[in-house]
Amino acid sequence: MQPNRPNPVRSSPDHIDLSAVGRAVVRKLPALLLIAGLVGAATAAVLSTMAPKYQSQAQLEVRGNGSSDVGGRPDKEAVGTHVRGLMSTELALKMAARLNLTREPDFNSALEPPDLYGRLWRMIGVGGTKAGETDEDRLMQAYFKSVRAYQVRDTRSVIVDCTTSGAKFSADCANALAELYRDSLSGRAASENSDVRTKLKPQVERLTRETAEAEAMATEFRGAANLFQGGTQATQLKDQQLGELTAELTRSATQRSDAEARATAAREMSIRGIAAANPDVQKSALIPRMEEQRVILERQISELSATLLDGHPRMKQLHAELNGLQAQIRAEVQKVVESLGNDARIATDRETGVRRRLDDMKRTVVSSAPDTAKLAQFDNQAKAKRAELERVQRQYEAAASSAGAGVGTVEVEIVSRAYPSNEKVFPKIGTMAPLAAFAALILALAATLTRELTRGARPAADPAASLAAVQPHQVMPQQAMAQHKTPRQDAPAQVARAATVTSPLLTPEAAAVQLAGMAQDTLGFRVLAASAAAPIEPSHQALAMARALAGGARRVVLIGWAGSGDALALAAGVDATVGTAQLLAGDASLEDAVQRLSGSTLDLIAAGHDTNQTIDADSAAMVLDALDEIYDFIIVCAPKPLAATLFSAVQGRFDAGVLVSQTPSSASQTRTGAEFLGYDVADFPVLAVAVQARAFDEPAVASSPELLAATRPQAARAPL
């Protein structure tokens, strides 16, 4: 025998003593607050030694010019070009000369810093001048750190801001940069438009002439090659005809397929003698009336047959009329069938004609392909000439408009000048010091929690429970005494199997309590319920025991084994058509076989109709393994011979056995746990249940506190 797969057991996560962690945090909270306060005070002290920084902003608007687009609105690239122009080195040198920036400490690191923080760093040798560095180098480094220009998103506005240690000086810098850039662009438009008109006029005349010639050439060639166009999209007539023929071919093929299908169905129904049920036959105006006459004649024959014999003249007359009427019906039906065949042939001929016309049109289109390609070249040349002419005309008109006005287009305007700010942007002691204190508190709290969790808040695992989870038990069939197998390894079940001595002749409810105590929180606890003797039927006791377990809020399935008959299905009042036999044969799925008992949470799988009494061990093991993942208890019910065969086929892969016995003597051997169904077993719990324990048709409810406590689920289960 081969070892079976270990059964999954609900895992328990490590427990964390949250109360101990909370007490440790509360105990160290004063120290944590002190640390946070010190960090906040130190941050405020350092920030107070720094010189304040003020920022001023000037706003510019980029307006359109003749080269932007048709409407004169600049695109994003044009605005970005102006932003890069504001940050150019040439403009920076002009502003440095205008404001004498090399004499300001903010733009010349060689001068003495304006704050205590900078002087302290300078005393320890940090932040001074570098060897070989000129005043211009230091100016450029400080300039691009203090001055910025950027575009406001989705607008044509450009912001120029300057940040220095003086509020008025920051405003002067921003305004000076905006004015210098605007002045540099003021005379550019007039100088650029002086010769544009003279240069563009010959191009406009030449392109006008070439465009007219290209369009005329394309029109002449279209007429010569018979490539006329029509429709709103200017599609060639041949292409339009080709598309229409393709659509007509699709419709013809659909009609032909429909006609052939109807004709074929009518012929098949006529051969089988049921042509009258055909929808096309029923649409006939004559056949329904003939059917009514046939019914009347059959009714008259039926009425007269009670008093007249078949040889009576009246009976012969009615039979003759009925036969003639049926012959007329068959003839009319045959006409309808033949008409459907004619419709199919007509649809086929129509499709053939459309396909022939489509092939002719395809050959025509293919033969005119060279002319079509040449016409496309003429059209593309004409379109290119037309586009070039329109572009040059726009430039010519813009230049003419600027020259007529006598002024250049203003591209950049200052819409808002910079003003001195009373609020410093750095350092903000009131905001940065509390943030630093809060960050220090969070870090100290995280360090405290980590230390408490790693040192004393996580209890050690129970070594006894871990050892019990891997102690195996063995099932020893008499036929293979020298051959061992690995049993099911369910940790809670192993603890319960240490006490295999049970009281004989229990009630089903008492047996359910003991089984619940053995299973505890084990998934897929398997129980084999069998009769102690061949004449005893174990179905009623197994049903009562399963109902008691299901009443304790555990998921339970009761299985009637293949070949055991319909006793379990009759006792439970369920359908016995689909069951274990169909599952093992692969004729049904698990969802088809499982049935829910009315008014209960118990699921049941009937035995099903079985003609093959041979048990496939692989199929049986596969079914049981699938149920292990779904149910807490799997109870298999079978008479003694079938139960013994199943026990041997699956190599004893059950967690407990139940013997339904009639007398205490027949269950005396189960008290030792040494024999079950004719096999010698070790550490295998076997319970004995009395046949007359109670009326089996009464639903069992787990009302005892022991069963409710033992069957309470330990974790949420997934639905089937």
Domain assignment present for residue 550? The answer is yes
Average pLDDT over every residue of 185-214: 75
CA distance 213 to 226: 20
Cα→Cα distances 602→542, 552, 599, 639, Å: 12, 11, 9, 21
Predicted confidence at residue 496, as pLDDT, reads 35
537 lies in a domain?
yes
Give the gyration radius of the chain's Cα atoms.
50
Asked whether the beta carbons of 96 and 189 are under 8 A apart, the reply is no
Cβ atoms of residues 667 and 530 within 8 Å: no
Give pLDDT, residue 521: 66
In a shared domain, residues 333 and 215: no
Question: Is 6 within the bounds of a domain?
Answer: no
The whole-number pLDDT of residue 2 equals 35
In a domain? residue 422: no
DSSP β-ladder status, 595-596 and 603-605: antiparallel
Of 622, 574, 568, 626, nearest to 595 by C-alpha is 574
On whether both 493 and 446 belong to a single domain, the answer is no
CATH code: domain of residue 598: 3.40.50.300
683: left (phi over 0), alpha (psi -120 to 50) or beta: left
- Comparing CA positions, the residue from 318, 269, 272, 271 lying closest to residue 295 is 318
Q: In what order do the strands lie in the sheet with 147-151?
A: 147-151, 157-164, 54-62, 412-416
- Mapped onto helix, strand or coil, the DSSP state of residue 675 is strand
484 and 387 share one domain: no
Residue 346, in any domain of the structure: yes
What distance in Å separates the CA atoms of residue 689 and residue 660, rounded to the nearest whole number? Answer: 5
Q: Report the Cα 679 to chain-centroid distance in Å.
A: 52
In the structure encoding, which two tokens stand for residue 287, read together? 């056949």
Domain match, 444 and 590 both: no
Residue-by-residue DSSP string for 192-246:
HTTTHHHHHHHHHHHHHHHHHHHHHHHHHHHHHTT--EETTTTEEHHHHHHHHHH
Find the helix or strand (DSSP H, E) in which 475 lies: strand 475-476
pLDDT band at 269 (very low <50, low <70, confident <90, very high): confident
Token pair 């105006």 is found at: 285
As given in the structure block, the two tokens for residue 461 are 């695992």
Same-domain status, 202 and 316: no
Contact 687, 667 (CB under 8 A): no
Which of 159-173, 175-189, 505-519, 660-674 has the weakest average pLDDT? 660-674
User: What's the average model confidence in pLDDT over 566-587?
Assistant: 83
In angstroms, rounded to a whole number, what is the distance separating the alpha carbons of residues 440 and 445? 8
Is 10 among the domain residues? no
| 312/382 same-domain check | no
In this prediction, residue 713 carries a pLDDT of 40
Coil, helix or strand at residue 630: coil
CATH code assigned at 98: 3.30.70.1130
Query: Taking a C-beta distance cutoff of 8 angstroms, is the pair 16, 449 a contact?
Result: no
Is the alpha carbon torsion for 303, 304, 305, 310 positive or negative?
negative
Cβ burial of 491 (10 Å; 0-12, 13-18, 19+) is buried
CA atoms within a 13 Å half-sphere pointing along the CA-CB vector of 651? 17
Whether residues 188 and 303 share a domain: the answer is no
Together in a domain, 599 and 526:
yes
pLDDT class for 229, splitting at 50, 70, 90? low
Please list, in sequence order, all residues whose beta carbon lies within 8 angstroms of the beta carbon of residue 489, skipping any fewer than 6 positions away. 6, 7, 469, 470, 472
DSSP assignment of 219-230: HHHHHHTT--EE
Nearest in space to 512 (alpha carbons), one of 553, 454, 461:
553
What percentage of the chain carries pLDDT values higher than 90?
7
**Region for residue 90 given its phi and psi (left: phi exceeds 0; alpha: psi -120 to 50; beta: otherwise):** alpha
Task: Note the pTM of the prediction, 2 decimals.
Answer: 0.36
Per-residue pLDDT of 509-541, as tens digits, reads 888 888 888 887 677 899 999 888 877 888 888
Q: How far is residue 18's CA from residue 567's CA, in Å, rounded to a whole number?
A: 55
pLDDT tens readout for residues 592-634: 889 888 878 889 998 887 655 566 778 888 888 888 888 889 9
Whether residue 339 contacts residue 270, with contact meaning beta carbons closer than 8 Å, is answered with no
Please count the structural domains in the chain: 5
Q: 432: closest CA among 52, 115, 47?
A: 47
- pLDDT of 443 strictly over 90: yes
Most confident segment among 336-340, 498-502, 557-561, 680-684: 557-561
For the segment 701-711, what is each residue's pLDDT rounded down to a tens digit? 334 444 444 44
Q: How many CA atoms within 13 Å lie on the side-chain side of 196?
A: 21
pLDDT at 165 over 70: yes
Q: Are 584 and 620 in contact (CB under 8 A)?
A: yes
In a domain, 679, yes or no: yes
Do the domain assignments include residue 9?
Answer: no
Query: Apex CA 584: angle with CA 583 and CA 589, to 5°?
Result: 20
Q: Are residues 288 and 319 in the same domain?
A: yes
Domain that holds residue 46: 18-50+429-455
Cα–Cα distance for residue pair 311/306, rounded to 1 Å: 13
Highest mean pLDDT (candidates 16-25, 492-501, 660-669, 707-716): 16-25
Residue 177, judged by CB atoms within 10 A of its CB (0-12, 13-18, 19+), counts as: buried
Band of residue 427 on the pLDDT scale cut at 50, 70, 90 = confident
Mean pLDDT value across residues 222-248: 68
Token readout for 121 is: 């760093």
* Mean pLDDT on 446-461: 68
d(CA 347, CA 353): 10
Instruction: Kindly write down the DSSP assignment for every residue of 144-198, as one continuous string.
Output: HHHEEEEEPTTSSEEEEEEEES-HHHHHHHHHHHHHHHHHHHHTHHHHHTTTHHH
CA 303 – CA 297 distance, rounded (Å): 10
Are 581 and 673 in the same domain? Answer: yes
DSSP state, residue 522? B
What the block records as the tokens of 466 is 């871990």
- Cα 584 to Cα 623: distance, rounded to the nearest angstrom: 8
DSSP H or E segment with residue 60: strand 54-62
Residue 133 vs residue 55, higher pLDDT: 55
Q: What is the DSSP letter of 341?
A: H
**Whole-angstrom distance, CA of residue 501 vs CA of residue 495:** 14
Question: Does 537 lie in the same domain as 438?
Answer: no
Structure-token pair, residue 329: 């019906």
User: Does 60 share its domain with 139?
Assistant: yes
Whether the per-residue pLDDT at 671 is higher than 70: the answer is no
Q: How many other CB atoms are there within 10 angstroms of residue 530's CB atom?
A: 26
| Percent of the chain whose pLDDT exceeds 70 | 74
- Mean pLDDT of the region 16-23: 75
